C-alpha cells in the first residue's frame, strides 16, 4: 500500500470525502503512471486547510492507495520522478487493534476502572475486549441524566456536585466540543478514532487534521461505548463514588469503599485503574492521606476570550471566509514573553459558547464547547498562563489544588453569587479600568456575567502576563486584541495540578502495587486523544501483568 501526500484540492472541488477521493485518485494515476484498473481503492487519510496565502485558500490532502493484487508496488516506486518520490512512500496496511481475549490463568477479582471519562472508557473497553469483564465506576450520571443536570444548573444555579460539566459519563470532554487534534504521534490514535466512529462519531474525524465530534453528538457516542463494554461482559455503575482505597499490610491495593445509590459497600479489588479526571480533588486528598506518592506539576490558569467568529474567519481565511467547505476557523496561539512566561490559547471552540463548569459549591469555573456544526456567533478559547511548582508556596503536592479553589471562590464572589462570572472587555482590561457592559460581542456564559475587573480573581503573574501577551497575540491574528472582545473568568481546570507517580513501563503507582494512575487526572494526558491512548496503554499493561489471565 502506498501513501501519497501534498495533494492540493481547491475549495471548488468540495471538501467532502467523495470529492477528496476523486482528487486523490486523479493525482495517484498521474504520479504512479498506472491504469485505473491497477488501483483497487483510494482511502482519504488526511485533510488540512492551507490558508497561508489568503488569495489561494485550499485543502492539502494525503491518501492511501490500495493497489490491485497483481501490481508490483516496487516497480511503481522505481518509476517515480525525483520530485514525486518525496511524496510517495510504502506503508504498513495494519492499524493497531485491541488485545485479543486472554486464554490462560485466572484473576481472583475483576479489575476495576474508576472514572468514565476518555481514559476510563478506553481502559475499560480494552479490558473488556481482553475478556477481563471490568467494573467501571462513575461518580456522575449517564449521558441523559447528566445533560439534564447541566441544563438545570444553567437555568437555576442549582449545582449537582456529582453530575456536571466535570463529572459524569464521558468526563469533561463530553461538553467541551470533543476536539481530537493532538500534538503527539501515537499509533493508537487510529484505533481511538475508528472506535469513536464505530460508536457514532462522524467519519470525517478519520482524516480531518483538526477533528472534532461536537457536544451534541458526544453523549450518544459515549453511551454507545458503554453499551459495547457491557456486551463484552463489563459492568458499569453510575452515581458510585469511591470514598476510600483499601490497602493490605504491605501497601498493596486490596479493595475499594464505594458510596452508591444503595448506600456504602466494600468491594475486593487488586487491579484498579484510577482515571478520576483532573477535577476529582477529594480523590487527590484521599490519596495524599494514604501516603500514595504524588508530585506537583505545571498546570495553567486564565480566562475565556470571546470574539465574533466572523471576524476570526475573515482574518484567517480572507475572501474565502464563509465558504461552506471551510466552516468556522479555528486558531492556536502562543506569545512568549521576555520574562520567560508564555500566554497561550487552549481548547479553542469555533462557533461555540463559554460553559459553566463548576463542580464545587461556591466556585466559578468556565470552559468552552461547540456543537458539531460550529455555527454559533462567537469564537471562544481559553487564554492561559502556566503555574509552575516554583510559583507555589511550601512543598505540599496539593498546593495547586488549593490555589485553583481559592481563585474559583474569588471569581464566585466577584460575580456576585449564583455562579455568575466576572467579565471585562479586553480594552478595559488593558487600560486597567472596570467594564460596565458589553460592546458588539455578547458573552455566552449561561449563568450570566458581572461586569467589572478580573485582576483580583487570578494570581498576579497570570494577570500581568495576560496584559502583556494579548497585544502580542493581536500581531498574530489581526483584531485579537479587539477592545470589545470579552474576557470571562476563570478558566482553572485545563489540566491537573498533580501527578500520581507511576512506573514508566508498567504504569503502576511507584508506591502502591495494583494501582494504575491514568489519564488527565493522574497527570499523564492533556486532551481526549492522549487520555484515551493512556487508558489503552494502562489497560494493556494490566492485561500483561495478569500473566495472560482471565476472570473465573
CATH number (domain holding residue 508): 3.50.50.60
412 belongs to a structural domain: yes
Q: Is the pLDDT of residue 550 over 60?
A: no
pLDDT, residue 551, reads: 43
Instruction: Classify residue 430: in a domain, yes or no.
Output: yes
Asked whether residue 443 falls in the same domain as residue 315, the answer is yes
Place of cell 456543537: 371
Neighbours of 10 (CB within 10 A): 14
Residue length of the chain: 552
Of 90, 124, 151, at which residue does a domain stop?
A: 90
The rounded percent of the chain whose pLDDT value lies above 70 is 97
What are the tens digits of pLDDT across the range 399-428?
999 999 999 999 999 999 999 999 999 999
Domain end residue (candidates: 453, 472, 491): 491
Output the nine-digit C-alpha cell for 509.
Answer: 503507582
Do 344 and 416 belong to one domain? yes
Cα–Cα distance between 22 and 3 in angstroms, integer?
15
- What the block records as the C-alpha cell of 544 is 500483561
The predicted structure's pLDDT at residue 14? 87
Of the pLDDT bands very low, low, confident and very high (cuts 50, 70, 90), residue 547 is: low
493 with 502: CB under 8 angstroms? no
| DSSP at 36 | G
Strand partners, 380: 306, 349
> Do 148 and 207 sit in the same domain of this protein?
yes
Looking up cell 495517484, which residue turns up?
28
The residue-averaged pLDDT of 25-37 equals: 92
User: In this structure, which long-range contacts are made by residues 217-222, counting pairs with CB atoms below 8 Å and at least 24 apart in sequence?
Assistant: 217/178, 217/372, 218/170, 218/173, 218/174, 218/175, 218/178, 219/143, 219/144, 219/146, 219/147, 219/169, 219/170, 219/174, 220/143, 221/170, 221/178, 221/196, 222/116, 222/121, 222/143, 222/169, 222/170, 222/174
What does the block give as the cell for 102? 486472554
Q: Which three cell numbers stand for residue 501?
A: 507517580
User: Quick one: CA dihedral 300, 303, 308, 312, positive or negative?
Assistant: negative
pLDDT band at 552 (very low <50, low <70, confident <90, very high): very low
Q: 92-143, pLDDT tens digit by residue?
A: 877 888 988 885 455 789 999 999 999 999 999 999 999 999 999 999 999 9
CATH number for the domain that contains residue 27: 3.30.70.2700
Share the mean pLDDT of the chain: 94
270 lies in the same domain as 306 = no
pLDDT (average), residues 30-55: 94
What is the pLDDT, as a whole number, of residue 549?
45
Q: Is the pLDDT of residue 548 over 70?
A: no
Are residues 186 and 234 part of one domain? yes
* Residue that is written with C-alpha cell 501497601 in the block: 251
Q: Residue 193 is placed in which grid cell?
A: 478514532
Within a domain: 188:
yes
What interhelical angle do 218-231 and 143-156 show, nearest 10? Answer: 150
Q: What is the C-alpha to C-alpha distance for residues 272 and 473, in angstroms, rounded to an integer? A: 44
Residues 452 and 367 occupy one common structural domain: yes
State the cell numbers at 473. Answer: 497575540
Instruction: Compare 23 and 183 and report the one with higher pLDDT.
Output: 23
| Residue 279 located in a structural domain | yes
CA distance 144 to 169: 9
Tell me how many domains the chain contains: 3
Query: What are the grid coordinates assigned to 391, written together?
Result: 510559583
Please indicate, yes or no, whether residues 349 and 468 belong to a single structural domain of this protein.
yes
319 shares a domain with 258: no
Band (331; pLDDT cuts 50, 70, 90):
very high
Residues 396 and 268 in one domain: no
CA distances for 45 relative to 3, 87, 210, 500, angstroms: 9, 14, 13, 36
Alpha helices, DSSP H, located in 423-505: 426-431, 460-476
Q: Could you read off the pLDDT of 436-449 as tens digits, one per residue? A: 999 999 999 999 99
- List all residues 6 or more positions away from 333 whose beta carbon is below 8 Å from its beta carbon: 344, 345, 473, 476, 477, 480
Q: Tens of pLDDT along 462-514?
A: 999 999 999 999 999 999 999 999 999 999 999 999 999 999 999 999 999 99
Residue 551 lies in a domain: no
pLDDT tens-digit profile of 130-177? 999 999 999 999 999 999 999 999 999 999 999 999 999 999 888 887
pLDDT at 48 over 50: yes
Residues 445 and 313 in one domain: yes
What residues does 300 pair with on adjacent strands?
386
Domain that holds residue 522: 112-295+499-545
Task: Give me 389's grid cell.
Answer: 511548582
CA angle 471-477-480, nearest 5°? 50
Residue 198 counted as domain residue: yes
- The strand ranges marked E within 213-341 are 235-237, 241-247, 253-260, 263-268, 272-274, 294-296, 299-308, 334-336
Residues 341, 258 within the same domain: no
Query: Per the structure block, which three cell numbers stand in for 9?
Result: 484540492
Among 90, 124, 141, the domain-final residue is 90
**CA-to-CA distance for 373 and 215, rounded, in angstroms?**
10
Grid cell, residue 293, equals 506518592
**CB-based contacts of 218, cutoff 8 Å, min separation 6:** 170, 173, 174, 175, 178
Among 205, 196, 430, 479, residue whose Cα is nearest residue 321: 479
The answer to the question of residue 107 being in a domain is no
**Burial annotation 416-426 (CB, 10 A radius, 16+ → b, else e):** eeebbbbbbbb
pLDDT at 185 over 80: no
User: Does pLDDT of 179 surpass 90?
Assistant: no
CB 246 within 8 A of CB 226: no
Is 482 inside any structural domain? yes
pLDDT(89) > 70: yes
> Which pLDDT band, with edges at 50, 70 and 90, does 82 fall under?
confident
Nearest to 208 by CA among 189, 186, 188, 187: 189
**Residue 473, CB-side half-sphere exposure with 13 Å CA sphere:** 25
Other CB atoms within a 10 A radius of the CB of residue 180 amount to: 22
Do 441 and 529 lie in a common domain?
Answer: no
How much is the pLDDT for 135? 98
Phi and psi at 77, nearest 5°, equal -65, -35
Q: Among 363, 360, 368, which Cα is nearest to 407's?
A: 363
Average pLDDT on 39-45 reads: 95
Amino acid at each position: 500500500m502506498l501513501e501519497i501526500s501534498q495533494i492540493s484540492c481547491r475549495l471548488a472541488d468540495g471538501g467532502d470525502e467523495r470529492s477528496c477521493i476523486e482528487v486523490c485518485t486523479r493525482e495517484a494515476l498521474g504520479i504512479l503512471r498506472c491504469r485505473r484498473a491497477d488501483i483497487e481503492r483510494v482511502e482519504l487519510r488526511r485533510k488540512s486547510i492551507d490558508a497561508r496565502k489568503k488569495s489561494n485558500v485550499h485543502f492539502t490532502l494525503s491518501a492511501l492507495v490500495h493497489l490491485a493484487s497483481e501490481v508490483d508496488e516496487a516497480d511503481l516506486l522505481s518509476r517515480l520522478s525525483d520530485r514525486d518520490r518525496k511524496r510517495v512512500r510504502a506503508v504498513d496496511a495494519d492499524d493497531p487493534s485491541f488485545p485479543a481475549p486472554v486464554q490462560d490463568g485466572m484473576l481472583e477479582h475483576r479489575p476495576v476502572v474508576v472514572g468514565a471519562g476518555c481514559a476510563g472508557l478506553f481502559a475499560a473497553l480494552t479490558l473488556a475486549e481482553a475478556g477481563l469483564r471490568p467494573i467501571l465506576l462513575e461518580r456522575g450520571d449517564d449521558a441523559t441524566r447528566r445533560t439534564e443536570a447541566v441544563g438545570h444548573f444553567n437555568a437555576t444555579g442549582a449545582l449537582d456536585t456529582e453530575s456536571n460539566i466535570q463529572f459524569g459519563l464521558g468526563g469533561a470532554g463530553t461538553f467541551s466540543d470533543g476536539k481530537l487534534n493532538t500534538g503527539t504521534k501515537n499509533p493508537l490514535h487510529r484505533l481511538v478514532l475508528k472506535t469513536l466512529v464505530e460508536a457514532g462519531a462522524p467519519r470525517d474525524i478519520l482524516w480531518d487534521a483538526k477533528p472534532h465530534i461536537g457536544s451534541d453528538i458526544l453523549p450518544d457516542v459515549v453511551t454507545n461505548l458503554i453499551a459495547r463494554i457491557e456486551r463484552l461482559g463489563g459492568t458499569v455503575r453510575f452515581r458510585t463514588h469511591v470514598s476510600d482505597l483499601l490497602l493490605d499490610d504491605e501497601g498493596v491495593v486490596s479493595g475499594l469503599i464505594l458510596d452508591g445509590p444503595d448506600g456504602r459497600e466494600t468491594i475486593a479489588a487488586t487491579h484498579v485503574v484510577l482515571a478520576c479526571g483532573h477535577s476529582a480533588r477529594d480523590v487527590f486528598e484521599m490519596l495524599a492521606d494514604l501516603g500514595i506518592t504524588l508530585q506537583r506539576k505545571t498546570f495553567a490558569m486564565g480566562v475565556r476570550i470571546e470574539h465574533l467568529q466572523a471576524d476570526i474567519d475573515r482574518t484567517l481565511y480572507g475572501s474565502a471566509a464563509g465558504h461552506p467547505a471551510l466552516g468556522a476557523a479555528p486558531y492556536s496561539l502562543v506569545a512568549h514573553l521576555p520574562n520567560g512566561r508564555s500566554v497561550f490559547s487552549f481548547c479553542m471552540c469555533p462557533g461555540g459558547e463559554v460553559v459553566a463548569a463548576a463542580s464545587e459549591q461556591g466556585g466559578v469555573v468556565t470552559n468552552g464547547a461547540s456543537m458539531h456544526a460550529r455555527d454559533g456567533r462567537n469564537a471562544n478559547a481559553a487564554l492561559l498562563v502556566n503555574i509552575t511548582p516554583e510559583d507555589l508556596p511550601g512543598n505540599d503536592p496539593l498546593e495547586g489544588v488549593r490555589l485553583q479553589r481559592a481563585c474559583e471562590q474569588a471569581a464566585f464572589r466577584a460575580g456576585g453569587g449564583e455562579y455568575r462570572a466576572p467579565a471585562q472587555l479586553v480594552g478595559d482590561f488593558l487600560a486597567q479600568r472596570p467594564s460596565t457592559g458589553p460592546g458588539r460581542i455578547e458573552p455566552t456564559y449561561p449563568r450570566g456575567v458581572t461586569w467589572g475587573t478580573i485582576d483580583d480573581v487570578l494570581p498576579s503573574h497570570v494577570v500581568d502576563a495576560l496584559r502583556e501577551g494579548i497585544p502580542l497575540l493581536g500581531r498574530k491574528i489581526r483584531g485579537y486584541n479587539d477592545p470589545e472582545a470579552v474576557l470571562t473568568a476563570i478558566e482553572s481546570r485545563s489540566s491537573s495540578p498533580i501527578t500520581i507517580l507511576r512506573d514508566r513501563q508498567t504504569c503502576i503507582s511507584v508506591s502502591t502495587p495494583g494501582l494504575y494512575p491514568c489519564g488527565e487526572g493522574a497527570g499523564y494526558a492533556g486532551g481526549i486523544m492522549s487520555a484515551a491512548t493512556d487508558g489503552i496503554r494502562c489497560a494493556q499493561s494490566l492485561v500483561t501483568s495478569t500473566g495472560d489471565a482471565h476472570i473465573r
